[in-house]
Amino acid sequence: MSHSPIKTFVQPNPSEHSASDAIQFQDVVSGQFDADETSEVAGVAKRVLLPQPESPKLHKVLAQAGMGSRLEMEQLILEGRITVNNEPAHIGQRVQFGDHVKVNGKPIRLRIDPPPARVIAYHKPAGEVVTHDDPQNRPTVFRKLPKLFQGKWQSVGRLDLNTEGLLLFTSSGELANNLMHPRFGLQREYAVRVLGGLNSEEKQHLLSGVQLGDGMAQFGAIEDGGGEGANTWYRVTIAEGRNREVRRMFEAVGHAVSRLIRIRYGAMVLPRGLRRGAWMELDAVDIGLLTKAVSRQPNQLTDAPTTASTSKPNFPKKPRDGSNLRSRKPFSRANQADHTQPDPLKTSVGYIGADSFSRQRQEAGKKRGGGSGSRGGRPMLGQGK
């Protein structure tokens, strides 16, 4: 497997993880992507979210805040002098980040750490919308996600009704916003099938930038994938995610998109064997890698080879004339390459999700050893409820 030069994505044993664990562009073009969906795979089990550490008990948190001993706090609870979210507290009650606690009617500021972020990778099928409430009552992606007992799932970007592929969800609004923010340049990779082939002029136009209704847009890369008849496949990467942006860019040069599949977001690649409508939860190690990818300054995201430019990325400054920044010319591809994330399947580190795959392989092996009747080496992946 080829690897990525991003230091923050280094896996302890990258040689253990094969590129065959992830869907690649060639799989889509060859038809293997759809063939895997229709093949018989035994033993695909429904999963629930991994358990999280229990929240601390109220009397213990109050004692640690200097309100008194634990026994004294329990006595106050029995006397009904403590409330949690304006409801009388009870002995043994646990509190979590965001709860409002009052003692004798006085608000108490407690130090309770927020729960760790949870992230799931979902294989969105065409025909689902990315919204909690749809006025047209169409199927939504959220109906298949596991229940989150604290907070709610937030999607990392969106895919339109007819687009399928990798969609990330997280319980952390901050992480979701960072993953979507264009300053970090996390690449989105798509397999695109269009009507008719692009000529060299049209390709250059898409790479240098096309004018859309909401500003300029450009691809970071375009690769031919071949095709049959009037249909031609292309592998494209882009470092932002505006509404229907990929479709509109091809339409701007006169080509309609007949199929669109997102197979990568940053270093998270659509897992092989994750069927449409199914999800898998990322382990703590992979979530840590995902968080580190957006916790550094953009010019620290890449460990550029010696042959590449190491100059500071040329980010556009806010125009003094007050004009819309999006209406101006986008970054040049040379500048963009300095801060966008490299393709994890073509460079030196690998992809996020390897640790999660390892765990699920181990679980699948245990189930097979226990007589579950499952076959093959694919991981046991979560199905939405």
Catalogue the active-site residues: 160
Distance of alpha carbon 130 from alpha carbon 167, whole angstroms:
9
Q: Residue 12 is encoded by which pair of tokens?
A: 């302890």
Distance of alpha carbon 50 from alpha carbon 283, whole angstroms:
9
Contact indicator for 257, 246 with CB cutoff of 8 Å? yes
Give the CB-side neighbour count of residue 204, counting CA atoms within 13 A.
3
Neighbours of 149 (CB within 10 A): 10
Q: Residue 353 is encoded by which pair of tokens?
A: 């999700």
Quick one: which of 213, 253, 211 has its CA closest to 232? 253
Q: Residue 37 is encoded by which pair of tokens?
A: 């969906």
Strand-strand pairing, 101-103 and 106-108: antiparallel
Contact indicator for 206, 253 with CB cutoff of 8 Å? yes
Three-state DSSP at 187 gives coil
Contact indicator for 133, 141 with CB cutoff of 8 Å? no
Three-state DSSP at 227 gives coil
Note the Cα 121 to chain centre separation in Å.
6
Distance of alpha carbon 351 from alpha carbon 356, whole angstroms:
11
List, in order, residues 6 or more apart from 368 with CB less than 8 Å away: 43, 374, 375
Distance of alpha carbon 158 from alpha carbon 46, whole angstroms:
25
Contact indicator for 350, 4 with CB cutoff of 8 Å? yes
Strand-strand pairing, 164-170 and 257-265: parallel
